[in-house]
């Protein structure tokens, strides 16, 4: 019964008949019932909405229309990718290796169930997974954006349409078991912080007190091959575009000193043997084995090494150079040092330990892969000469095809990488004992010495500089083009063994003579020689005088300008970014200035 509030209503009720009063009460009851029904309907609706909201909130946490950061064990990388799931799209944000600056470096493959993202030319993608729902691959947009969490670097943004809008997705991608991002780089380093002055790639920690000259603990090297890989990735453009790259401080000072000491022990124990090489004397028609003066060597597989320096072997093994190089240069199709299938114990990797005696030990011009049966693709040299000075000699000289020779001091800790079948090189005479080790890495069988690398159709070579710059067929022309340089390097190296030197020189001249009997070949060689003379500064003559001190005489100013342009062209020619360039005037005459250029901070 409704309570009557107003005085007027009370008066009305007083004057009503009983039947009127009953009818009125029924009407009021019906109205109240209707109100109650309406209220409970409203409450039910609100409850349903609240349930919806709670469900949506629960789903949000589980990933539907949610966002997530997927942390995977990727070494230094904090997250593999981030995602946002919207009503009808999935957005992924994938951090990229520092080497990626353009979208066309990436290979992005989207199928209805799978995603794979990698660097073009690399065998393995760095991110792959199965979508937690299905997508329209054709309705996918991907762009490179500045990574909001890592200033200075880029990330890949993918917008992918879900096939069923509004569908619940419990996350974005299912990653394969044990998946690991292969390009690990350190985004944890705050971008504003200055990088460490010269981080060493590979470091054996200092020996614990009381165990001098101990190479343990090698566990300190765990992860250093990843650092080496990252530094190799950074020089990949230089290696692939100019054929060589230089990594300074690849070994830190204590590590280099320890390795050098171990090599010294090997030498002292007689575990290094004199360098020998086979050479077929065409006149005699038989292959002979000769000894190269003042060069002592051993391979790490030699029993003498395992016996004399077992810790050295363990240390070299721990540096994991082949694994890092195979991962950093996938287009070279290198083996990675693990035993090869079907070839009992062979790995395709050779590690040579070397000592050049100071009595002039050197190497004449050669390619490390001169043709079959060699499969060498990458040469990695590590120098160990503590306190090297210019007086000591023993520089490695690379001769990029028709380009300016690059003279590289064997500075302790320095690593030089070059393509074994494409970079002609020699070692200048040593005036001081010099230690180093070389790691040669083979490529898979079909990757080197292919038929087109072993013959030269002279009619198809239009521009001998450009066409053969990175082509192993340059080896066929090399002796004719660098005739005098081969001869000079042979004389330098066999000064102490004149009979051998004479035989080698005669064989070289004969080789050039025979190949030049083909007129087309000879023309091509001359064309290449002409180009070589244009691009090769005469850099290894006369006495040094420092360049930038000249200020007063016009001739001196002019010489600075000429020298600077030579410096600039050498730097460009060698595709190197230099932090400092030292140019030295070696000789000055009326028309030319001969400069020696040293580039630091590759």
Ligand X SMILES: O=C(O)CCC(=O)C(=O)O
Residues of the shown chain interacting with ligand X in the complex, contacts defined by CB under 6 A: 354, 363, 368, 381, 396, 425, 427, 436, 438
Q: Give phi and psi for 209, each to the nearest 5.
A: -55, 140
Residue 127: name its binding partner from Fe ion, ligand X, none (Cβ under 5 to 8 Å by kind).
Answer: none
Q: Least CB distance from residue 367 to ligand X, whole Å?
A: 9
Q: Taking the CA atoms of 476, 478, 483 and 488 in sequence, report the sign of the dihedral they define.
A: negative
Smallest distance from ligand X to CB 74, Å: 37
Using DSSP's 3-state secondary structure scheme, residue 335 falls into coil
Q: Which is nearer to ligand X, 92 or 378 (CB)?
A: 378
Tell me which residue has its CB nearest to ligand X.
Answer: 396
C-beta of 368: minimal distance to Fe ion in Å?
A: 4
**Cβ at position 153, least distance to ligand X in Å:** 36
Three-state DSSP string of 97-159: CCCCCCHHHEEEEECCCEEEEEECCCCCCCEEEEECCCEEEEEEEEEEEECCCCCCCEEEEEE
The CB-of-298 to Fe ion minimum distance in angstroms stands at 16
- What is the C-alpha to C-alpha distance for residues 229 and 76, in angstroms, rounded to an integer? 13
CB 160 within 8 A of CB 134: no
- Measured CA to CA, the distance from residue 361 to residue 496 in angstroms comes to 9
* CA 406 – CA 501 distance, rounded (Å): 25
- In whole angstroms, what is the distance from residue 100 CA to residue 443 CA? 25
CB 305 → ligand X: shortest distance, Å?
16
Q: Coil, helix or strand for 184? A: coil
Terminal-to-terminal C-alpha distance of the chain: 97
Compare residues 299 and 467 and give the one whose CB is closer to ligand X.
299
For 95, the 3-state DSSP assignment is: strand
Q: How far is CA 64 from the centre of its chain?
A: 39
Q: Taking CA 275 as the corner, what is the angle to CA 447 and CA 253, rounded to the nearest 5 degrees?
A: 80
CB 507 within 8 A of CB 281: yes
**Binds 485: which of ligand X, Fe ion, none (CB < 5-8 Å by kind):** none
Nearer to Fe ion, 321 or 593 (CB): 321
Beta carbon of residue 381, minimum distance to ligand X (angstroms, whole number): 5
CB contact at 8 A, 81 and 88 = no
* Cβ-based nearer residue to ligand X, 116 or 491: 491
Could you tell me the two tokens for 570?
């050498």
Least separation in angstroms between CB 401 and ligand X: 17
| Helix segments in 329-482, DSSP class H | 464-468, 474-481
Question: Rule CB under 5 A: is residue 368 a binding residue for Fe ion?
Answer: yes
Q: Which residues bind Fe ion (CB under 5 A)?
A: 368
């Amino acid at each position: 019964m409704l309570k009557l509030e107003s005085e007027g209503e009370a008066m009305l009720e007083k004057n009503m008949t009983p039947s009127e009063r009953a009818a009125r009460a029924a009407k009021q009851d019906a109205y109240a019932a209707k109100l109650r029904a309406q209220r409970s309907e409203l409450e039910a609706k609100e409850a349903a909405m609240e349930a919806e909201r709670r469900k949506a909130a629960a789903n949000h946490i589980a990933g539907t229309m949610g966002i997530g950061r997927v942390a995977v064990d990727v070494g230094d990388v904090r997250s593999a990718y981030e995602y946002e799931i919207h009503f009808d799209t999935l957005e992924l944000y994938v951090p990229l290796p520092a080497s990626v600056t353009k979208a066309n470096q990436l290979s992005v493959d989207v199928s209805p169930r799978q995603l794979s993202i990698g660097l073009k030319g690399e065998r393995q993608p760095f991110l792959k997974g199965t979508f937690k729902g299905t997508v329209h691959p054709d309705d996918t947009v991907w762009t490179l954006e500045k990574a909001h969490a890592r200033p200075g670097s880029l990330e890949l943004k993918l917008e992918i349409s879900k096939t069923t809008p509004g569908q619940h997705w419990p996350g974005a991608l299912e990653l394969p078991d044990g998946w690991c991002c292969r390009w690990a780089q350190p985004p944890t380093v705050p971008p504003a912080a200055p990088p460490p002055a010269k981080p060493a790639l590979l470091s054996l920690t200092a020996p614990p007190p009381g165990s001098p000259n101990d190479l343990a603990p090698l566990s300190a090297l765990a992860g250093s091959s990843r650092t080496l890989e990252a530094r190799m990735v950074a020089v990949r453009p230089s290696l692939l575009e100019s054929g060589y790259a230089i990594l300074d401080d690849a070994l830190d000072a204590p590590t280099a000193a320890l390795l050098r000491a171990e090599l010294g022990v090997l030498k002292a124990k007689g575990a290094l043997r004199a360098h020998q090489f086979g050479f077929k004397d065409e006149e005699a028609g038989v292959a002979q084995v000769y000894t190269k003066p003042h060069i002592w060597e051993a391979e790490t597989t030699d029993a003498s090494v395992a016996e004399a320096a077992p810790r050295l072997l363990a240390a070299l093994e721990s540096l994991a150079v082949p694994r890092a190089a195979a991962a950093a240069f996938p287009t070279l199709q290198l083996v990675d040092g693990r035993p090869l299938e079907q070839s009992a114990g062979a790995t395709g990797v050779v590690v040579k330990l070397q000592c050049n005696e100071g009595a002039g030990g050197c190497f004449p011009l050669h390619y490390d892969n001169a043709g079959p049966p060699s499969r060498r693709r990458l040469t990695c040299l590590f120098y160990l000469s503590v306190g090297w000075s210019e007086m000591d000699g023993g520089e490695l000289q690379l001769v990029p095809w028709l380009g300016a020779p690059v003279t590289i001091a064997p500075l302790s800790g320095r690593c030089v990488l070059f393509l074994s079948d494409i970079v002609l090189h020699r070692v200048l005479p040593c005036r001081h004992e010099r230690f180093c080790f070389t790691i040669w890495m083979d490529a898979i069988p079909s990757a080197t010495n292919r038929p087109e690398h072993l013959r030269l159709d002279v009619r198809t070579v239009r521009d001998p500089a450009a066409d053969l710059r990175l082509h192993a067929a340059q080896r066929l022309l090399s002796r004719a083009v660098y005739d005098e340089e081969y001869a000079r390097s042979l004389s330098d190296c066999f000064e102490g063994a004149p009979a051998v030197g004479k035989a080698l020189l005669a064989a070289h001249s004969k080789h050039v003579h025979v190949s030049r009997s083909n007129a087309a070949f000879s023309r091509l060689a001359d064309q290449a020689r002409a180009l070589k003379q244009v691009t090769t500064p005469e850099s290894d003559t006369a006495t040094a005088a420092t360049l930038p001190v000249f200020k007063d005489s016009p001739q001196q100013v002019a010489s600075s300008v000429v020298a600077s342009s030579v410096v600039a062209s050498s730097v460009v020619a060698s595709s190197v970014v230099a932090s400092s360039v030292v140019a030295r005037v070696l000789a000055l005459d009326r028309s030319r200035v001969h400069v020696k250029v040293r580039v630091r901070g590759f």
